[in-house]
């Protein structure tokens, strides 16, 4: 506890980021030593300037840091510093590993495969369903899903994983006591309960845009495989991909049609050599995962995609239903078009669509626009 | 000499017969008016004097006092010029006072003696008739309007001289009055009653059907769709599929338009009104207002359609002010002197885009973030969302549909004539159903009525229960579905609400506002 405070102090000095902390710890080994170190000792540390040393000395008298620490101790926020046993070993390998993490819920398990599902915020319904499907199946396969809880693909990935009772971890660009975006509050509390919410920023940090690209290195750092579901040509997700490649992780991309703006980024990645993922089981082809499975002592017999026989399921449907179902895809189709294509009258069409909807085969997105519920 | 002439003043939507008393006596030349007069009426003084002179009558210098009674009612409008002039001439012996006993006169005078049109003539004639007067003199430009009232002789005058001639001799030099006298029905028939036809719209079958249902049950309707998908075209055609106006309704609407001064020369409102105010409208123009309130857009849309295009652009205070008139079907405008109740019995139709760019959820064209969309939809408050029983999403039409010929046979089904027939039938069913209650349409049913008239079978209940849980409906949403389902069942001529009716009603629920 006392140790935690010294770490908390070290991580909350303004102007001292993770690289400088790394330098301090590199030479002094411990936060407490750093706290008690004299100015002359600090001057000798490579990478610290005169200004930095002054700031460090001054911050020892900063009451705000102490108050913030006491306040944090009264919440459910756990403080994990880089020398702690709980600190994820995968992050230690990063060049700029965060000096500390603020955690609500559980940290990802070291013994299981972790996959990051990332993508555009303004995604299509197709992307949303794919992300949710992947998340859910990964949950069944015992794979942990890491993402950033942003709107769109991230949210869908988290939700899918939670729907499959799996572990999911959200890495935030703000304090772990702030839910951003705010409409995700339900998801936020679900993740805290059944997974983990992580941030390198102290509680109370506002979601400023500059934080988000920075936290991406933690997302890719925690994951073994990074899957891009939907991304435009210039997308924030591609930053994560670059980081993942720097960190020597596998990158997979969900292919899309030529001409779909939101698939251009993914297709570009595939062109550059990213693996294609069209089925959750494809994750096994990743050398990272295979290698890991071999070395692991845990039984991975559950690492199998239980393929629901979609075709069989649909064939049970009556012919009219079958016809309407087959008209639908993962791109939303309006009622008007369905009526026109099917040739059925409006009332009949609406009735069948409602039945399909209530039975969970299809769903309505937007108003009077329908897509299939599953791939 | 003293004389008395009868005229009218507009009071809300009705007119009040007033006495115009004139005393022309000896003394220093003087012209004074009394009786709680608005500025327009006071100005009559000079107009009257000059127009009498220019009509060729000689007035000796005298002391003239005009009083309009009852003195506690504010008199506004320009219709007092003519009665005052007639009164002065009668006081000077140009007309025999006995001739004025049974006549109500309204009209505005020009300086050269010509009689100009005034607003609210219809109400004036009605008031004259109700008070038992047998003749009503109106400006010739308002004659067609006046002729709509049966049971009173109405005459149009061109100028002051003509009127004096009539009052003294009982004949008009002109023939205009003889032509239309007593031919109300032909006057009525002469007015234009052509509507825009739904036949002109290609495709959009779903929207057409939904519009039909909305009109049949007078459900408030919200069109959501991309720019240029035809929302406005639809709205403009809705008033055409509502049942034809009865003579009484038409009279009431014409009266409102006459008072609002929206009636052009010799016109009569026979079409159901379609009002589409721009979103920059002021609250006063929207609800009605003024010291003596003039009817606003919601009253002018009465018995017809009030269409709010680009609903999200309307300021919140305008939209929120709609809530009470929508419930009560009337607006109460309270002024210090009196409370005025104007009808606001319209069908509300609104159109909006689903997001700022207008293309959501088509992600090929829409790049609005979820937050942007939520904020865009958030401009409309939940109570206003709740006022719309039905929501329809419009589809942009492919070129193929615009050019393809073989779909026409199916489309021609939905012509304005065909749709109006159905709507009329369903309105008749509702009239029978609500014979003993104070409501007229399915959309006005309250919880008790819904219990009484929307009885469901076991299967239907199960379906609705499942939908209620799946779609997280609210109780209000549930009731709205039942109301719309009732109308759909009426269209199908079915006394019970069946599964297909409920299914269809569910598809019109609001799935955007609860995003």
Residue-wise pLDDT tens digits, A197-214: 999 999 999 999 999 999
A152, A337, A351 member nearest B500 (Cβ): A351
Mean pLDDT of A133-159: 92
Q: What is the dihedral of CA A242, A248, A249, A255, to 10 degrees?
A: 50
Q: Are A115 and A144 in contact (CB under 8 A)?
A: yes
Do A97 and A18 form a contact (C-beta atoms < 8 A)?
yes
pLDDT value, residue B258: 86
When pLDDT is averaged across residues B262-286 and rounded to a whole number, the result is: 84
Interchain pair B361, A365: CB under 8 A: yes
| Shortest Cα distance, chain B CAs vs residue A193, angstroms | 24
> Which pLDDT tens digit goes with each residue over B360-399?
877 778 888 888 888 898 889 888 888 898 998 887 766 6
- Would you state the pLDDT for residue B411? 52
Q: In the structure, what pLDDT confidence band is assigned to residue B173 with cuts at 50, 70 and 90?
A: low
pLDDT of residue A316: 57
- The pLDDT, as a whole number, for residue B27 is 87
Q: Residue by residue, what is the 3-state secondary structure of B433-470?
A: HCCCCCCCCHHHCCHHHHHHHCCCCHHHHHHHHHHHHH
List pLDDT tens digits, range B44-75: 999 999 999 999 998 889 999 999 999 888 88
Is B393 in Cβ contact with A335 (below 8 Å)? yes
For A48-77, what is the mean pLDDT? 91
Interchain CB contact of A366 with B (< 8 Å): yes
More confident residue, B131 or B174: B131
* pLDDT of A343: 81
Please, what's the b/e burial string for A177-199 (b: 16 or more CB within 10 A of its CB; e: otherwise)?
Answer: bbbbbeebeebbebbbeebbbbb
∠ CA B145-B146-B148, rounded to 5°: 75
Q: Do A368 and B392 touch (CB under 8 A)?
A: yes
Model confidence at B515: pLDDT above 50: no
Distance CA A9, CA A62 (A): 9
Query: Which residues lie closer than 8 Å to A51 by C-beta, 6 or more apart?
Result: A15
Out of A152, A346, A369, name the one closest to residue B361 (CB): A369
Report the range of poorest mean pLDDT among A39-43, A338-342, B106-110, B277-281.
A338-342
* End-to-end Cα spacing for chain B: 78
Sequence-distant (≥ 6) Cβ neighbours of residue B56 within 8 angstroms: B161
Q: How confident is the model at residue A243, as a pLDDT?
A: 92
Quick check: A358 and B206 CB within 8 A? no
pLDDT at position B104 is 95
Determine the residue of chain A that is closest to B462 in CA distance.
A358
List CB contacts (< 8 A) between A339 and chain B. 205-206
Compute the nearest-CA separation of A332 from chain B (Å). 8
What digits encode the pLDDT tens for the residues B420-430? Answer: 999 999 999 99
Q: What angle do CA B508, B509, B511 make, to 5 degrees?
A: 115
Give me B107's structure tokens: 């009209």
H or E element: which one contains A217? helix A211-222
Task: Give the pLDDT confidence score for residue A172 in this predicted structure.
Answer: 94
Interface mutation vs chain A, best among B208, B395, B491, B497, most A CBs within 10 Å: B395
Q: Which residue in A has a C-alpha nearest to residue B505's C-alpha?
A: A350
Contact B367 A339 (CB under 8 A): no
Q: Tokens for B330?
A: 């009337």
Distance, in Å, from the CA atom of B378 to the CA atom of A182, rounded to the nearest integer, reads 15
pTM of the model: 0.79
Chain B residues with CB under 8 Å of A152 CB are 370
d(CA A116, CA B285): 57
Kindly report which listed range (B173-187, B200-214, B462-476) carries the lowest average pLDDT score.
Answer: B173-187
């Amino acid at each position: 506890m006392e140790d935690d405070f010294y770490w908390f102090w070290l991580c909350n000095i303004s102007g001292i980021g993770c690289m400088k902390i790394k330098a301090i710890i590199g030479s002094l080994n411990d936060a407490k030593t750093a706290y008690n170190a004299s100015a002359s000792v600090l001057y000798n540390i490579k990478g610290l300037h005169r200004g930095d040393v002054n700031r460090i000395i001054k911050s020892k008298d900063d009451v705000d840091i102490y108050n913030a620490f006491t306040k944090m101790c009264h919440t459910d926020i756990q403080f994990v510093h880089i020398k702690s046993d709980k600190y994820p070993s995968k992050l230690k390998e990063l060049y700029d590993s965060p000096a500390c993490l603020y955690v609500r819920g559980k940290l990802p398990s070291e013994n299981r495969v972790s996959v990051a599902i990332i993508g555009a915020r303004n995604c299509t319904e197709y992307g949303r369903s794919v992300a949710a499907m992947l998340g859910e199946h990964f949950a069944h396969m015992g794979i942990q899903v890491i993402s950033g809880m942003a709107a769109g693909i991230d949210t869908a990935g988290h939700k899918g994983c939670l729907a499959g009772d799996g572990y999911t971890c959200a890495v935030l660009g703000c304090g772990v006591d702030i839910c951003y975006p705010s409409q995700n509050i339900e998801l936020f509390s679900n993740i805290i309960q059944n997974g983990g919410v992580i941030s390198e920023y102290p509680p109370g940090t506002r979601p400023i845009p500059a934080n988000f690209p920075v936290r991406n290195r933690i997302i890719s750092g925690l994951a073994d495989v990074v899957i891009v579901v939907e991304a435009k040509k210039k997308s924030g997700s591609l930053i994560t991909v670059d980081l993942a490649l720097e960190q020597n992780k596998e990158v997979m991309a969900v292919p899309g049609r030529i001409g779909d703006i939101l698939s251009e980024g993914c297709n570009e990645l595939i062109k550059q050599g990213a693996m294609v993922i069209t089925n959750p089981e494809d994750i096994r082809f990743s050398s990272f995962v295979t290698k890991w499975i071999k070395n692991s002592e845990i039984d991975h017999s559950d690492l199998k995609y239980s393929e629901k026989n979609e075709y069989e399921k649909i064939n049970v449907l009556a012919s009219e239903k079958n016809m309407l179902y087959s008209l639908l895809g993962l791109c939303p189709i309006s009622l008007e078009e369905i009526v026109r294509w099917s040739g059925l009258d409006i009332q009949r069409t609406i009735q069948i669509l409602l039945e399909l909807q209530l039975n969970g085969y299809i769903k309505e997105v937007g108003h009077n626009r329908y897509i299939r519920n599953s791939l | 000499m003293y004389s008395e002439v009868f005229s009218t003043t507009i009071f809300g939507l009705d007119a009040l017969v007033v006495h115009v008393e004139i005393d022309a006596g000896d003394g220093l030349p003087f012209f004074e008016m009394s009786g709680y007069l608005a500025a327009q009426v006071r100005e009559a003084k000079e107009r009257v004097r000059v127009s009498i002179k220019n009509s060729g009558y000689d007035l000796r210098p005298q002391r003239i006092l005009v009083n309009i009674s009852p003195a506690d009612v504010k008199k506004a409008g320009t219709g007092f010029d003519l009665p005052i002039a007639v009164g002065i001439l009668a006081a000077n012996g140009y007309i025999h006072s006995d001739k004025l006993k049974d006549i109500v006169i309204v009209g505005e005078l020009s300086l050269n003696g010509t009689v100009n049109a005034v607003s609210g003539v219809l109400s004036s004639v009605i008031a004259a008739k109700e008070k038992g007067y047998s003749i009503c003199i109106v400006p010739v430009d308002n004659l067609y309007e006046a002729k709509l009232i049966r049971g009173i002789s109405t005459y149009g005058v061109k100028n002051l001289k003509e009127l004096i001639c009539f009052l003294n001799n009982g004949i008009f030099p002109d023939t205009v009055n003889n032509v239309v006298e007593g031919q109300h029905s032909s006057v009525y028939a002469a007015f234009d009653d052509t509507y825009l036809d739904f036949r002109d719209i290609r495709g959009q079958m779903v929207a057409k059907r939904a519009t039909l249902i909305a009109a049949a049950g007078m459900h408030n309707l919200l069109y959501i769709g991309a720019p240029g998908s035809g929302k406005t075209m639809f709205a403009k055609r809705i008033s055409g599929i509502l049942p034809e106006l009865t003579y009484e309704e038409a009279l009431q609407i014409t009266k409102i338009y006459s008072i609002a001064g929206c009636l052009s020369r010799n016109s009569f409102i026979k079409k159901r009104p379609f009002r589409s105010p721009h979103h920059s409208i002021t609250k006063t123009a929207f609800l009605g207002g003024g010291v003596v309130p003039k009817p606003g857009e919601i009253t002018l849309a009465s018995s017809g359609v009030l269409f709010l295009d680009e609903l999200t652009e309307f300021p919140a205070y305008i939209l929120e002010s709609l809530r009470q008139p929508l419930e009560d079907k009337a607006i109460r405008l309270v002024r210090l002197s009196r409370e005025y109740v104007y009808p606001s019995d319209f069908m509300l139709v609104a159109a909006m885009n689903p997001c700022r760019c207008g293309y959501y959820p088509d992600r090929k064209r829409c790049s609005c973030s979820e937050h942007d969309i939520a904020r865009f939809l958030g401009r409309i408050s939940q109570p206003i969302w709740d006022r719309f029983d039905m929501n329809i999403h419009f589809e942009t039409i492919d070129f193929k549909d615009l050019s393809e010929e073989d779909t026409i046979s199916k489309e021609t089904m939905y012509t304005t004539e065909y749709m109006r027939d159905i709507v009329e039938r369903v309105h008749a069913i509702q009239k029978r159903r609500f014979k003993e209650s104070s409501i007229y349409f399915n959309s006005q049913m309250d919880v008790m009525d819904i219990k009484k008239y929307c009885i469901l079978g076991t299967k239907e209940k199960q379906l609705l229960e499942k939908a209620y849980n799946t779609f997280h409906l609210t109780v209000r949403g549930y009731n709205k579905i039942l109301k719309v389902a009732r109308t759909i069942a009426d269209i199908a001529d079915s006394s019970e609400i069946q599964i297909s009716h409920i299914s269809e009603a569910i598809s019109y629920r609001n799935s955007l506002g609860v995003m």
